[in-house]
Chain A
Amino acid sequence: MNNTAHTSHHFVKFGYYALVTAVGAAVVYCLYLFAVPLVGSFLCVFLLDPIVNFFETRGMKRLWVIVGIYLFIVVAAACVVFFVGPPLAKQARTFVQDIPRYKALLANTIGTLQTAVAQKFPQANIPDINEMLGDRMPKVNIDALIAYSSSFFSFISLVVLIPVVTFFLLADGHLIEKVILEMVPNRYFEMVFMLFHKVTTALKLFLRGQCIDAGAVGIMTIIGLSIIGLPYAIVIGIIAGFGNLIPYLGPIIGFMPALLVILATGGFSIIMLIKVIIVFVLVQFIEGTFVYPIAVGKSVDLHPLVVIIGVTIGGQLGGIIGMLAAIPIISVLKVSIEVLHASLKSYSII
Chain B
Amino acid sequence: MENPIWTYIFGPPKERKAMIELLRSLPAFDGLTTNELLQVERMLHVRRFTAGEQVFSEGLPGVGMYIVKEGEIEITKKIGNGGSVRLTLVGERHFFGEMALLDEMPRSASGSATRDSVLLSLCKPDLEQISERNPALANKIIGNLARLICRRLVKANENLETLQAKLEEAKAASRGKKAAGDE
Complex partner residue of B125 from A57, A189, A197, CB under 8 angstroms: A197
Asked whether A301 is an interface residue with its Cβ less than 8 Å from the other chain, the reply is no
Asked whether B5 is an interface residue with its Cβ less than 8 Å from the other chain, the reply is yes
Please measure, in the bound complex, the distance between the C-alpha atom of A62 and the C-alpha atom of B53, giving whole angstroms.
38
Contact A57–B123 (Cβ < 8 Å): no
Please measure, in the bound complex, the distance between the C-alpha atom of A194 and the C-alpha atom of B125, giving whole angstroms.
8
Contact A182–B63 (Cβ < 8 Å): no
Binary interface profile of A, 170-193, with partner B (CB < 8 Å = 1, else 0)?
Answer: 000011001101100011011101
Please measure, in the bound complex, the distance between the C-alpha atom of A190 and the C-alpha atom of B106, giving whole angstroms.
12
Contact A179–B4 (Cβ < 8 Å): yes
Please measure, in the bound complex, the distance between the C-alpha atom of A182 and the C-alpha atom of B129, giving whole angstroms.
19
Asked whether B164 is an interface residue with its Cβ less than 8 Å from the other chain, the reply is no
Closest residue of chain A to B5 (Cβ to Cβ) is: A179
Closest residue of chain A to B123 (Cβ to Cβ) is: A193
Chain A positions within 8 Å of B121 at CB level: 189
Given A179-B5, A182-B45: A193 touches B134 (CB 8 Å cut-off): no
Asked whether B156 is an interface residue with its Cβ less than 8 Å from the other chain, the reply is no
Chain B positions within 8 Å of A189 at CB level: 45, 47, 121
Binary interface profile of A, 318-350, with partner B (CB < 8 Å = 1, else 0)?
Answer: 000000000000000000000000000011100
Contact B5–A174 (Cβ < 8 Å): no
Chain B positions within 8 Å of A190 at CB level: 56, 60-64, 123
Please measure, in the bound complex, the distance between the C-alpha atom of A346 and the C-alpha atom of B135, giving whole angstroms.
29
- Residues 29 to 72 of chain B near chain A (Cβ within 8 Å): 42-43, 45-49, 53-56, 60-64
Asked whether B133 is an interface residue with its Cβ less than 8 Å from the other chain, the reply is yes
Asked whether A53 is an interface residue with its Cβ less than 8 Å from the other chain, the reply is yes
How far in angstroms is the closest Cβ of chain B from A102?
Answer: 50
Contact B63–A193 (Cβ < 8 Å): yes
26 sample A-B contacts, Cβ–Cβ < 8 Å, listed by A number: A53-B133, A56-B134, A57-B135, A174-B42, A174-B43, A175-B8, A175-B42, A178-B8, A179-B4, A182-B4, A182-B5, A186-B49, A186-B53, A186-B54, A186-B55, A187-B54, A189-B47, A189-B121, A190-B60, A190-B61, A193-B123, A194-B61, A194-B125, A197-B125, A347-B60, A347-B61
Q: What is the predominant secondary structure among interface residues of chain A facing chain B?
A: helix
List the 3 closest A-B pairs by CB distance, nearest first.
Answer: A197-B125, A190-B63, A182-B4
Asked whether B9 is an interface residue with its Cβ less than 8 Å from the other chain, the reply is yes
Complex partner residue of B47 from A56, A179, A186, A194, CB under 8 angstroms: A186
Chain A positions within 8 Å of B64 at CB level: 190
Chain B positions within 8 Å of A187 at CB level: 53-54
Please measure, in the bound complex, the distance between the C-alpha atom of A347 and the C-alpha atom of B61, giving whole angstroms.
7
Chain A positions within 8 Å of B47 at CB level: 186, 189
Which residue, A182, A190, A201, A348, has most C-beta atoms of chain B within 10 A?
Answer: A190
Asked whether B132 is an interface residue with its Cβ less than 8 Å from the other chain, the reply is yes
Please measure, in the bound complex, the distance between the C-alpha atom of A348 and the C-alpha atom of B58, giving whole angstroms.
13
Chain A positions within 8 Å of B133 at CB level: 53, 56-57, 62
Chain B positions within 8 Å of A186 at CB level: 47-49, 53-55
Binary interface profile of A, 296-336, with partner B (CB < 8 Å = 1, else 0)?
Answer: 00000000000000000000000000000000000000000
Closest residue of chain B to A50 (Cβ to Cβ) is: B132
Closest residue of chain B to A62 (Cβ to Cβ) is: B133
- Residues 191 to 225 of chain A near chain B (Cβ within 8 Å): 191, 193-194, 197, 201
How far in angstroms is the closest Cβ of chain B from A192?
Answer: 10
Chain A positions within 8 Å of B63 at CB level: 190, 193-194
Excluding A182-B5, A189-B45, 14 further A-B contacts by CB distance (< 8 Å) are: A56-B133, A57-B132, A174-B43, A175-B9, A178-B8, A178-B45, A181-B45, A186-B47, A186-B48, A193-B45, A193-B125, A194-B63, A194-B123, A346-B61
